[in-house]
């Protein structure tokens, strides 16, 4: 018996079997074969290397935060240039960078205007250029918060993991 004969004998009941079968076949393909790009899975906390300075700092991965934020102490803004230092515990280096934007960031109960710079970051196996707002995070547990502007399109987040990847810094192109 061929398929055509089977459907003829089953009559209207053929669609009752065909639809679930097609749904099963469609849903049983692995997720990555349906066009999902290969993205590293990162945890709720990861180490981030700030390039080209080479400092590695812990960061909180926060899918609820729109933007990425870095602990910047002793900030001094002149024209469109900002100079700041990282906390001593994380290298204490002085960094000078052009301000590419100013953003109003909502915090608990208020809005703050913060300078935004571009940094090259290495997270897990990815090197990328990211916009980072600067803020004194001395009252926070992590010196860096990675927001959706870095996560989206680059990483998958598994909150059950922590520090599951170390930053790889092979000589590869920085994703822009």
Per domain, the residue ranges of the chain are 3-34, 41-157
Question: Under a CB-based contact definition with an 8 Å cutoff, are residues 68 and 145 in contact?
Answer: yes
- C-alpha 74/C-alpha 136 separation (Å) is 8
Residue 13 pLDDT grade (very low, low, confident, very high; cuts 50, 70, 90): low
Could you read off the pLDDT of 109-164 as tens digits, one per residue?
788 899 999 999 999 989 999 999 999 999 899 999 999 999 999 999 999 999 98
Q: Which two tokens stand for residue 115?
A: 């300078």
- Give the side-chain half-sphere CA count within 13 A for 118: 8
Q: What is the pLDDT of residues 48-89, one digit of tens each?
A: 999 988 889 999 999 999 999 999 999 999 999 999 999 999
Q: Write down the pTM of the prediction.
A: 0.74
CATH no. for 41-157: 2.40.70.10
């Amino acid at each position: 018996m061929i398929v055509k004969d089977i459907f003829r004998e089953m009559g209207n009941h053929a669609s009752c079997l065909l639809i679930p079968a097609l749904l099963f076949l469609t849903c049983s393909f692995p997720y990555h074969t349906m066009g999902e790009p290969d993205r590293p899975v990162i945890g709720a906390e990861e180490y981030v290397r700030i390039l080209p300075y080479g400092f590695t700092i812990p960061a909180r991965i926060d899918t609820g935060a729109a933007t990425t934020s870095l602990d910047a102490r002793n900030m001094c803004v002149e024209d469109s240039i900002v100079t700041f230092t990282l906390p001593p515990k994380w290298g204490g280096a002085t960094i000078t960078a052009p301000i590419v934007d100013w953003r109003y960031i909502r915090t608990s109960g208020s809005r703050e205007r913060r300078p935004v710079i571009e940094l090259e970051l290495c997270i897990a196996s990815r090197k990328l250029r990211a916009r980072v707002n600067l803020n004194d995070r001395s009252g926070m547990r992590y010196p860096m918060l990675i927001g959706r502007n870095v996560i989206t399109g680059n990483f998958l987040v598994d909150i059950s993991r922590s520090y599951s990847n170390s930053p790889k810094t092979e000589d590869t192109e920085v994703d822009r």
